[in-house]
Structure 1
Amino acid sequence: MPHTIVTNTCEGIADCVEACPVACIHDGPGKNTKGTDWYWIDFATCIDCGICLQVCPVEGAIVDEERPDLQRTPQ
Structure 2
Amino acid sequence: MAKVNWESVKYESSKGQWSIFPGLCKGCGLCMEKCPVKCIGWSEGLGVYGTPRVEANMEKCIVCGICQMICPDCAIRVEKKK
State the TM-score, normalizing by the size of structure 1.
Answer: 0.70
Higher percent of residues as strand: 2
Aligned residue type for 1:39: V
- The aligned runs of 1:1-75 (5 Å cut-off) are 1-29=16-44, 31-32=46-47, 34-59=49-74, 61-65=75-79
Structure 1 residue runs of 4+, over 3 Å off?
none
CA distance in 1, matches of 2:33, 2:69: 12
CA spacing shift, 1:54–1:26, aligned 2, 3 Å: same
Number of equivalenced pairs: 65
Deviation at 1:39, TM superposition (A): 0.5
Q: CA RMSD in A?
A: 2.0
CA distance in 2, matches of 1:11, 1:38: 7
Match of 1:72 in 2: none
Deviation at 1:63, TM superposition (A): 1.0
Structure 2, unaligned stretches of length 5 or more? 1-15
SS at match of 1:18: helix
Structure 1, unaligned stretches of length 5 or more? 67-75
Percent identical residues: 37
Larger radius of gyration, structure 1 or 2? 2
CA distance in 1, matches of 2:36, 2:23: 24
